[in-house]
A and B are shown apart, each in its own frame.
Chain A
Amino acid sequence: MSRSVLILGAASGMARAIARSFAAEGHAIRLAARDPERLKDDRDDLVTRYGVEVTLHPFDALDLASHAGFVAGLPDLPEVVVCAVGTMGTQEENAADPEAGAMVMRANFEGPASILGHLANAMEARGSGTIVGISSVAGERGRASNYVYGSAKAGFTAFLSGLRNRLAKKGVHVVTVLPGFVNTAMTEGLDLPARLTAEPEEVGAAVLKAVTSRRNVVYVRPIWRIVMAVIRAIPEPVFKKTSL
């Protein structure tokens, strides 16, 4: 059985930390991003630190037609796939320009769902594998400040939940990761509360643990479970007047 781990959106800060967590366990790593040139230093890092095999693959989540070929072209069908693809844009832009908003929806939902759909089918046929989707707490409830991104993540979260349900008896496990705030390029310059903000390394450790212990839904910092429970519980007549 293959032991490789495929990371989609591998140039992201979170993906780098996740790749390290799995490489430290001895897994071969497949890094995929739009521009694999940018991944060379990451490859060298994983090889130097952990002595594992690392391969680079071009991958565009928005190019749906390429997805079947991408999966077929991998050296092997991975044991674990982690999808860290996503873009946030800004809410102002996403609201003012519906086309920009649609791109955010495609990059966070349509594209990831498509590629994971292909991989899920292949894993189901094999009868084993783990699929990890990096979604977001932003998808738990739409807020004025971030609802375009949030709605895309909501769709992705629902997709992962359904996929988990479908594959539960087929030997394939699905993990939904809701990282809360993470200190990466995506959140650069935002004023984030320290207690609620994880470092990428925490996400890396949490994802590895979720995969090995077959968790279903993980919040990286436990406090987010409480925060989101509260946010979900606020009645709509009150919620619509808040600014969160």
Chain B
Amino acid sequence: MTRLSGWGRTPVAECRVRKARSEADVARAVAEGPMIARGNGRSYGDPAMSPGLTLDMRGMDRFLAFDAETGILVTEAGALLSDVIETFLPRGWFPFVTPGTKFVTIGGAIAADVHGKNHHGDGSFRACVEWVDVMEADGSVTRVTQDDDTGRFGTICGAMGLSGVILRAAIRLRPVESAWIVQETIPVQTVEAAVDAFEARLDVPYSVAWIDCSSGPPTLGRSLVMLGRHARADELPTSKRKAPFKVARPRKLAVPVDFPSFALNRLSVRAFNALYYRMGARNAGETLVDWDRYFYPLDAISGWNRIYGRRGFYQFQCALPLPTAREGLERLLTDISATGLASFLSVLKRFGPDDSPLSFPCEGYTLALDFPAGARSLALLERLDRITLEHGGRFYLAKDARMTGETARAADPRLAAFRDLRQARGWAGHFVSHQSERLGL
């Protein structure tokens, strides 16, 4: 037995874990009964932990083919996105969609159908998935293409491993001319202004806002809106133009021990947020930043999740539909700033239209933030759940560690249909996670 948790380090459970190194290993695990696939454990709660067997997919990490004409990579599901970048960025290719950490597996990215800063223009991860090989409950393997007319593709992307094990996938990469991003920072004083900034700049490929959640009215939701696009080779200063894909490797910082929980109090968070805002505002306007700093600022600090101490932390992420987004965001931020509970990293993004059967995004805004585990946070999270429901929003399963099944189903009627489908197809008996049990999926 192994003690497992997600990235938020709560909840923790003793799990029976095995590593898959081949398709045969996966077949054996599926045949044995209730199991769930685990990628790199970067989801926050309990979706990659099973009361049955937890199958670690990291042993299946081989790249099987790459077509330099189309940019299509065939890879096993346990390969990391960081590996994809390391191998293909020097050849002029970057992931088409990437979450805020590069340490996710391809299987995990598909299972959660992750989104990046370009969702408003490019959609979620499944947009770049040409096909997946999935192991079904009976051990057979099906190749499911994006345009498959049985609807199977839509029951894999965003299904959190609950409809089969992804063995391999073909993903399309994006051609880029450099490893650099032209970033534009716009400081704004309120969340209202942040939304205005997003709406005015929907043509920019990447956008995200960092929100200072400790700031109350009149600067409720004061933010740095950060826009970005891949730099063309001819935009680079001559010093970089000779090797457009080369960036200096940053020195890796690490959080060596669990922080004692008192380290992260209201004051330190307030100070951090204020400082972050001031530094960002000073860099307002256009700058050139490398891909790693732009897409993955948190990855530079390995083990940053330990900053919340041994008890761990909760992440809250909801999506609010466009018509109710402004009001909903204001309500959420008012409550959060009034409680003064710590959230270092609060992120706001614009989602574009999305009509996938299971995935999290819907056209509107998504807010993500974290809170140290504890009773006060849990009470706040309940209130945030309620505000989200009142505004017709829904929740991201990849971040969830504590929701009730009732809340989940109220927010997302698609889940009840998915539960029925799981029964009908025999998935319910084979693919089981702590999250699926908690939410009654």
Knowing A188-B18, A189-B18, say if A48 contacts B59 (CB, 8 Å).
no
* B residues near A185, Cβ cutoff 8 Å: 19, 21
* A residues near B65, Cβ cutoff 8 Å: 44, 48
Knowing A49-B87, A189-B18, say if A13 contacts B59 (CB, 8 Å).
yes
Determine whether A79 belongs to the interface, using a CB cutoff of 8 Å to chain B: no
Interface string of A1-41 (1 = CB under 8 A from B): 00000000000010000000000000000000000001001
By the criterion of a CB under 8 Å from any partner CB, how many residues of chain A are at the interface? 12
Determine whether A92 belongs to the interface, using a CB cutoff of 8 Å to chain B: no
Determine whether A93 belongs to the interface, using a CB cutoff of 8 Å to chain B: no
Determine whether A53 belongs to the interface, using a CB cutoff of 8 Å to chain B: no
Determine whether B174 belongs to the interface, using a CB cutoff of 8 Å to chain A: no
Interface string of A43-64 (1 = CB under 8 A from B): 0110011000000000000000
Q: Pick the contact of A49 from B21, B22, B59, B63 — CB < 8 Å?
A: B63
Determine whether B419 belongs to the interface, using a CB cutoff of 8 Å to chain A: no
Nearest-neighbour CB distance to chain A for B326, whole angstroms, equals 47
* B residues near A183, Cβ cutoff 8 Å: 19
Determine whether B66 belongs to the interface, using a CB cutoff of 8 Å to chain A: yes
A44 engages B62 (CB within 8 Å):
yes
Which of the listed residues B18, B22, B62 has the most CB atoms from chain A within 10 Å of its own CB? B62
Determine whether A202 belongs to the interface, using a CB cutoff of 8 Å to chain B: no
Determine whether B271 belongs to the interface, using a CB cutoff of 8 Å to chain A: no
* A residues near B338, Cβ cutoff 8 Å: none
CA distance A36 to B88 in the complex (A): 28
Which A residue sits closest to B63, measured CB to CB? A48
CA distance A44 to B66 in the complex (A): 10
Per DSSP, are chain B's interface residues mostly helix, strand or loop, or mixed? Answer: strand
* B residues near A38, Cβ cutoff 8 Å: 22
Determine whether A42 belongs to the interface, using a CB cutoff of 8 Å to chain B: yes
CA distance A25 to B21 in the complex (A): 24
CA distance A41 to B168 in the complex (A): 12
* B residues near A41, Cβ cutoff 8 Å: 62, 64, 76
Interface string of B53-81 (1 = CB under 8 A from A): 00000010011111000000100100000
| CB within 8 Å: A-B pair count | 28
* A residues near B73, Cβ cutoff 8 Å: 48
CA distance A44 to B64 in the complex (A): 5
* B residues near A189, Cβ cutoff 8 Å: 18
CA distance A186 to B19 in the complex (A): 11
CA distance A13 to B65 in the complex (A): 21
* A residues near B64, Cβ cutoff 8 Å: 41, 44-45, 48
Which A residue sits closest to B56, measured CB to CB? A183
Which B residue sits closest to A42, measured CB to CB? B62
CA distance A185 to B19 in the complex (A): 8
CA distance A49 to B80 in the complex (A): 13
118-152 of chain B: CB within 8 A of chain A: none
Interface string of B410-421 (1 = CB under 8 A from A): 000000000000
Nearest-neighbour CB distance to chain B for A54, whole angstroms, equals 12
CA distance A118 to B215 in the complex (A): 73
CA distance A42 to B62 in the complex (A): 7
CA distance A13 to B87 in the complex (A): 21
Which A residue sits closest to B86, measured CB to CB? A49
CA distance A24 to B63 in the complex (A): 14
CA distance A213 to B66 in the complex (A): 34
* B residues near A42, Cβ cutoff 8 Å: 62
Q: Pick the contact of A45 from B19, B21, B63 — CB < 8 Å?
A: B63
Which of the listed residues A13, A44, A48, A183 has the most CB atoms from chain B within 10 Å of its own CB? A48
Nearest-neighbour CB distance to chain B for A87, whole angstroms, equals 16
A45 engages B18 (CB within 8 Å):
no
Which B residue sits closest to A200, measured CB to CB? B59
* A residues near B62, Cβ cutoff 8 Å: 41-42, 44-45
CA distance A191 to B77 in the complex (A): 26
Interface string of B175-215 (1 = CB under 8 A from A): 00000000000000000000000000000000000000000
Nearest-neighbour CB distance to chain A for B275, whole angstroms, equals 36
* A residues near B21, Cβ cutoff 8 Å: 13, 185
CA distance A42 to B59 in the complex (A): 12
Nearest-neighbour CB distance to chain B for A84, whole angstroms, equals 14
Nearest-neighbour CB distance to chain A for B161, whole angstroms, equals 21
Interface string of A180-223 (1 = CB under 8 A from B): 00010100110000000000000000000000000000000000
A188 engages B63 (CB within 8 Å):
no
CA distance A17 to B411 in the complex (A): 45
98-121 of chain B: CB within 8 A of chain A: none
96-151 of chain A: CB within 8 A of chain B: none
* B residues near A45, Cβ cutoff 8 Å: 62-64
Nearest-neighbour CB distance to chain A for B262, whole angstroms, equals 28
Nearest-neighbour CB distance to chain B for A37, whole angstroms, equals 12
Nearest-neighbour CB distance to chain A for B412, whole angstroms, equals 38
Which B residue sits closest to A38, measured CB to CB? B22
Which A residue sits closest to B66, measured CB to CB? A48
Nearest-neighbour CB distance to chain A for B128, whole angstroms, equals 17
Interface string of B231-246 (1 = CB under 8 A from A): 0000000000000000
Which B residue sits closest to A45, measured CB to CB? B62
CA distance A238 to B18 in the complex (A): 37
Nearest-neighbour CB distance to chain A for B189, whole angstroms, equals 47
Nearest-neighbour CB distance to chain B for A241, whole angstroms, equals 30
CA distance A49 to B65 in the complex (A): 9
Nearest-neighbour CB distance to chain A for B130, whole angstroms, equals 16
Nearest-neighbour CB distance to chain A for B82, whole angstroms, equals 13
Q: Which of B's residues lie within 8 Å of A, judged by CB? A: 18-19, 21-22, 59, 62-66, 73, 76, 87
Q: Which of A's residues lie within 8 Å of B, judged by CB? A: 13, 38, 41-42, 44-45, 48-49, 183, 185, 188-189
| 5 nearest CB pairs, A to B | A45-B62, A48-B63, A44-B64, A48-B66, A41-B62
A-B contact pairs, 7 of them (CB 8 A): A44-B64, A45-B63, A48-B63, A48-B65, A49-B63, A49-B87, A183-B19
Besides A42-B62, A44-B62, A45-B64, 7 other A-B contacts (C-beta < 8 A): A13-B21, A41-B62, A41-B64, A45-B62, A48-B66, A48-B73, A49-B63
